[in-house]
Amino acid sequence: MLEFNFSPFPVIETERLVLNRITKEDVNEIFELRSNPDIMKYIPRPLAKNTDDALEHIRIINEAIDTNKGINWAIRLKNSPKLFGFIGFYRLQPENYRAEIGYMILPQFHGKGFVPEAVKRLAKYGFEEIKLHSIEAVIDPENYASEKVLQKCGFIKEAHLKESEFYEGKFLDKVIYSLLNN
């Protein structure tokens, strides 16, 4: 079984990005992401109502890192300290050598290739550094932008689960994409 240890926190760089730890200083950007109905449209979680909700989200992220149960990185441009998104491994499954990847970025950064750049680099980190065998992404079947990102990064559609999650009075479908370490 895999053992995860995210201390010291792994800072990761790509050609244009720095992926580093989310801090309380990122509260306004986290609030902007988590309170935006367009960004959250395909994520069955309540919208952040205020900066206290955003601070609580940051606390949960950091608690998961400190207990090695999950890890999220801030996505920043190399020449700017401002967070414009985040990406991470949620629901680590050490017994299956598997993790779920998730990400979100502010709309003004869409369509510039930042998410595929971060996903590809994180997949490399997941396979080489933390020794994952597979990485999955669980998306809403109507989230075509995310589907395109995953396909661009080599992920394969594994399953379409019909009405498998109940949220706000509705049953929701989920699609699972995965990438194997071959």
Q: Give residue-wise pLDDT tens across range 106-164.
A: 999 999 999 999 999 999 999 999 999 999 999 999 999 999 999 999 999 999 999 99
Task: Output the six-digit token pair for 102.
Answer: 């998730």
Burial of 137 (0-12, 13-18, 19+ CB in 10 A): buried
Q: What is the mean pLDDT of residues 41-64?
A: 96
| Count of other CB atoms within 10 angstroms of residue 76 | 20
pTM reported for the whole predicted model? 0.95
pLDDT computed for residue 1 by the predictor: 87
> What's the pLDDT at 77?
98
Q: What mean pLDDT is predicted for residues 45-54? A: 96
Helix (H) or strand (E) holding 30: helix 27-34
Say if residue 126 is exposed, middle or buried (CB neighbours under 10 Å; 0-12, 13-18, 19+).
Answer: buried
- List of domains in the chain: 12-180 (3.40.630.30)
The pLDDT of residue 182: 83
Tell me the average pLDDT of the chain.
Answer: 97
Distance of CA 88 to the CA centre of its chain: 4
Report d(CA 101, CA 89) in Å as an integer.
5
**How many residues would you count in the chain?**
182
* Residue corresponding to tokens 């669980």: 138
